[in-house]
Amino acid sequence: MKNIVKDCEDLAKAYDLLRELFFNQWTEETIGSLKQKSSNLSIDMKDIRFIKLLEKLQADMLDEARWDYNRLFIGPQKPLAIPFESSYRSDENLLMREFTYQVREYYSQVGIEVEELNHFPDDFIGFEFQYLYCMSLLIIESYKTGNMIEVNSLLKTRKEFFDNHPKTWINKFSEDIIINSKQEVLKELGSFIQDIMKKEELFLEKVK
């Protein structure tokens, strides 16, 4: 169980970085915060190329990176990697489908609520990463207090959420980033997300 908690701590740090990356447009302040979070990652994650490129990202490189970020995820034209689960799992890339309401049920269990409820889709990738981050913290805290029944329950719910939601679409989303990005740091972001999804999958294989 100690190994599971250690893995959970490492994944929590990665999800903390990823949720901020998708919740905020890239400014000098945001990049500074992301660099700080990257310094807390496990040694093997620090060796991932995206993290190394992020740490080297300077102010004079930010405009091009921001332009590519917006082109991929925001617009003004149709984003090339749409950061919503429903877009990948419904016909004609429609948003606010059943998946939006399914993830909302999971979020409510840990106190996450979308501020613009019913106006901004709950299945936004930032929220899915935030849920996995919050679940990680809850698992760690329950372990520290010796509540193993709660730990096992949280792990089971986490696996159910991952299998039914992130696992079904985020790798496809990441592939769109890799294919369509023009800036190396964002191309490597796609690979980084795929690496974290693989780590999550391996982590959950330990859950019975």
pLDDT tens, 151-180?
999 999 999 999 999 999 999 999 999 999
Residue 30 domain-assigned (yes or no): yes
Domain of 76, in residue numbers: 2-81+96-204
Read off the pLDDT of each residue in 183-192 and give the average, rounded to a whole number.
Answer: 97
Per-residue pLDDT, averaged over 52-57, amounts to 94
pLDDT of residue 92: 65
Query: Where residue 5 falls among pLDDT bands split at 50, 70, 90?
Result: confident
pLDDT band at 117 (very low <50, low <70, confident <90, very high): low
The structural domain count of the chain equals 1
Q: Is 84 helix (H, G, I), strand (E, B) or coil?
A: strand
pLDDT at residue 172, as a whole number:
97
- Please report which helix (H) or strand (E) contains residue 57, including its range: none
Residue 15 has pLDDT above 80, yes or no: yes
Q: What is the value of pTM for the model shown?
A: 0.93
90 found inside a domain: no
In this structure, the dihedral spanned by the alpha carbons of residues 123, 128, 134 and 137, taken in order and rounded to 10 degrees, is: 160
What proportion of the chain, given as a percentage, has pLDDT over 70? 95
Q: Is residue 55 part of a domain?
A: yes
The reply to whether 12 falls in a domain is yes
Tell whether 137 is covered by a domain: yes
Residue 87 lies in a domain: no
Inform me whether the pLDDT recorded for 94 exceeds 80: no
Amino acid at 16: D
pLDDT at residue 90, rounded to an integer: 81
Mean pLDDT of the chain: 92
Residue 20 contacts residue 33 (beta carbons within 8 Å)? yes
Q: The tokens of 160 are what?
A: 């159910």
At residue 112, the pLDDT reads 86
Q: Is the pLDDT of residue 194 over 70?
A: yes
| Torsion sign, CA atoms 89, 108, 122, 205 | negative
In-domain check, residue 195 = yes
Q: Please give the helix or strand (H or E) that residue 119 lies within, else none.
A: none
Residue 36 sits in a domain of what CATH number?
Answer: 1.10.3480
- 75: in domain: yes
Sequence-distant contacts of 180-185: CB under 8 A, at least 24 apart: 180/71, 180/72, 180/80, 180/81, 181/68, 181/72, 182/68, 182/71, 183/64, 183/65, 183/68, 184/53, 185/50, 185/53, 185/54, 185/57, 185/65
pLDDT exceeds cutoff 80 at 116: no
H helices then E strands: how many in the chain? 11, 0
